Structure 1
Amino acid sequence: MARRRPRRVGVLATFVALALLPAPASAQMGTGMGPGMGGSIGPRGPANPEPRREAPPAPPAARPEAVASPRAQMAESMAHPAVPVPFYLESTFLLLVGAATAGGGFITYRLARARWRRQTVRAAVVTEAVLVVDLVQSTHLATHYGDGLAMRARTVVRDRALAVAAGHGLTYTESTGDGCFMTFVSVAGAIETALALLRDLAARSADLAPAPPPRVRAAITYGEILLDGRGARHGAVINKAFRLEGVTPAAFVQVGGAANEVEIPEDDRIFLDEAAAEEARARGIGLDSVGFCALKGFAGLHGVYRVTA
């Protein structure tokens, strides 16, 4: 037992010495310790190693920031989102504003020009003869012979009326649908136009075959007419001519208890009011008295006269 103890003590002392050996070794190695920190110790260097010669500092290299500054600026500009352009600076908005301004200026110019024309051309009063011509039974033509033939009859009446009126002092004309109304310098010119139109239409039976020749009624009045700045005619004299053209036999009344002996035709007639009849007699034109009638919109009774062809 005594011999075994010294052995055990010796072995234990050996292990203790081995355990304490790395501490002073590492202290002596200092910062020059090489590989072996994981458990193995390399060969120790000399006790007093020669001081290392430090390499001269290298010249400062060009800073990468300076070289890459354009790229950095581009990257920085791309990183930030673009600021949107205000709507009032966009090209589409500016084009629309320009078009609206031009359109407004054009409209203003036209309105101002029209107003200037109305102011410069004043209305006037003229004394003229009014002739109203109307196609008889245009509805009958449309229902029995078709709309095309009825339209052709209206066209024939208007065209022939204008053709014969051109040489009799025509001053104005306007279409009325189934006919037209015209103004003349004199009553004689209006009467000559109406008579020539009746003769011309009677000879045009072939133009509307198989329908009969167009038949018309005409009325002539005379008096003052309002002439506006556009040249259009207005006034009671024109309205009276339309009423006289469409007067029916039932509108005539007996005066003084005597019956009317003059026959009142339905078509192919030319009626005149009292003012137009007076002008016609002064020119030597023969007339027949038809009677007295009431006209819608006009007070009293009105004398009616007929041209004797």
Structure 2
Amino acid sequence: MVSSSHEALHRIFQQEPGLFSRVARHLGVAFPPPLSASELSTDLTETRPLERRVDTLLRMDTEDGSFVLAVESQSAPSAHKPASWAYYLSHVYAKYGVPPVLLVVCPDRKTAAWAAQQFDIGPRQWPSLTLRPLVLGPNDVPVIDSPDEAARDIPLTILSAALHRCEPEADAILNALAKALKSLSADDEITAGTFIELTEQGLGTSQAADLWRHLMAVDLSFFQSQTAQKLRQEGREEGREEGRAEGQANALLLLLHHRGVEVTEGDRERIESCDDLDVLDLWLTRAIAATSMAEVFAAGGETSSTAD
């Protein structure tokens, strides 16, 4: 089962593709920042019934050309992984015709040291293939414990917190990150919500996760309340033109889209057909923190159409 902390270590590169060129400098490799980046399908399954999926796959277009960045989150050494990684890179190159780069993000030093070695695939006398991953571990990402520095690069600070989550520096990183998020403008509230969620996922079940939840409850609770108020207001302003219920429904769907919550056609129809402003208001409030439509519709006898 894929863990939330596993997800955060590669999803941060989906949220901020330019982070790759910045962290690569810590590995002694200079990649130009992307002029654009687009997500590619992570499904590398062949026609035969064998499913292979890379964690994150991004096409990066830079002034020096294009490459495909495959990001893998690896929590422990695994004997079969080098062969899988070699397959991913070969398949990506054959499918897209663009040079691939493998970045392995590891939350502990032992796994990072294992992943950083050169993997020769083939007989000792003549290896047919050499795999050289770029590896990010706790030693490769700086401890960011200054709010000013954190504010300059929030995605890098999130990665720093995730990779140092079990170390004494974790508390200082999280305090700096909380202050940096608090300085974001009202227009950045939905982005802030994504950053808050990624940070919590990246911390996993570590003690630092408890501190983060406390910081969110005490220092950043205004994000949820302000976001709710803002979306309600947007919904009601739009409602004066198109009908208040329709405006609320549109605001709810917009929030779900930004948070990446999967909405089925049945869910969409249920939202758009609801004319009870109190119910829509309740769903809107729940959607701020929900990770599924079941959570949005649940309680009080409400159940998602996806569960029917």
Q: Which structure has the greater CA radius of gyration? A: 1
Shorter chain as denominator, the TM-score bin is under 0.3
TM-score normalised according to structure 1 size: 0.21
TM-score normalised according to structure 2 size: 0.21
Say which structure, 1 or 2, has more relative contact order (CA 8 Å, 6+ apart). 1
Higher fraction of strand: 1
